[in-house]
Amino acid sequence: MNAGRALLAALAVAACVGPAAAQIVARPPDGTYTYKIERRGKVLATTQIVWAKNDDGAIELTETATIGTRRYFTQTTFDPATMHERTYKGGSADGGQANAVLDDDTVTLTFEGDARSFRLITDTSSIMIDDALVSFSAALPAVAHADTANSLTAVITALPAAAKVQISPEGKAPPSDLPPNDVGIDVILNNTQATLWYGKSTLVLDRLEDVTRGITIDRVIQ
C-alpha cells in the first residue's frame, strides 16, 4: 500500500471510531404559537408560546399569558438531547416569582425564599413543572415522544406537590376541524383527564380537551 492510500485508510478508520454526533431529539419548530383558553364557550385567557434555542444550546419554551387584567410569564429550558426539563421560572408582573432547577431525579422549587425539593416518582421517566398555564401541555408531546414515556412526574406549583402523569395513546381520528394527520394522547394528572391533539411530525399542540373541567385550549392558526 502506498503512502497516499495508507493515509486515506487511516482517516477512514479514525472517522469510524471517532465520537458520535450528539443526538438531537424532535421538538416543535422555532416560532410563536397563540392559544385561546375557553370554558363552555367563554374565552378565559389568551397565551403565546415561543419555542427557541438559547445561547447555551438548551431548548427554551417561554409563555406570556393574559388572564383578565393580569399577565403571567414562564420560561422553561430543556436538554436538547433528552427533552428533560432543566430550569423553570414563572410568575406575574405584580406577584411573586417561582424558580426551579431540575435534574433527572430531583426538583428544587423556590418561591419567595421558601425552597422545597421533590423526587422523581417511581416508574416515571422525567420531571416537569406544572403551573397550570399552557406551556406544560405544549411541551408534553415532545417530552413524551423523546423517550416514548407513558408516565412522568409533575410538580404542581399551586400545591406544591409532586403527582404522577399517566399518558396513553388516543386511537381515535382527530376532530374534523383539526389537521387530519394530528395524533392524540390521553393524559391523567391529579384526577384530571384531558386529551392532547398535536401534529404527528411537528409535535405542535393544536388542542387540549380537558374533559374533567370542561376546558378547551385551541391553537389560533392565522
Domain ranges of the chain: 24-220
Q: Would you say how long the chain is, in residues?
A: 222
Per-residue pLDDT, 68: 85
Least confident of 11-25, 110-124, 157-171, 175-189: 11-25
Cβ atoms < 10 Å from Cβ of 68? 7
Q: Which of 12-16, 19-23, 126-130, 173-177 has the lowest mean pLDDT?
A: 12-16
pLDDT for 147 equals 85
Cell, residue 163: 403527582
What's the grid cell of residue 168?
Answer: 396513553
At 33 the three-state DSSP class reads strand
Averaged pLDDT, 143-172:
93
The pLDDT assigned to 219 comes to: 97
Residues 44-69, mean pLDDT to the nearest whole number: 94
For residue 4, the model assigns a pLDDT of: 47
Mean pLDDT (whole number) for 167-171: 93
Q: Tell me the percentage of the chain whose pLDDT exceeds 90.
A: 77
- For residue 24, is pLDDT > 80? no
Q: Which pLDDT score, from 0 to 100, does residue 23 have? A: 59
CB count, 10 Å around CB of 17?
6
Average pLDDT over residues 52-57: 94
The pLDDT of residue 70 is: 87
Whether 44 has a pLDDT exceeding 80, the answer reads: yes
Does 185 have pLDDT greater than 60? yes
Nearest to 219 by CA among 168, 153, 174: 174
Using the predicted structure, report yes or no on whether residue 40 has a pLDDT greater than 80. Answer: yes
Q: What is the mean pLDDT of residues 9-17?
A: 36
pLDDT grade, residue 195 (50/70/90)?
A: very high
Element (H, E) at 156: strand 151-156
The predicted-structure confidence for 88-140, as pLDDT tens digits, reads as follows 999 987 778 999 999 999 999 999 889 999 999 999 999 999 999 999 999 99
Residue 71 is placed in which grid cell?
A: 399577565
Query: Taking all residues of the chain, what is their mean pLDDT, rounded to a whole number?
Result: 89
Q: Please state the pTM of the whole predicted model.
A: 0.86
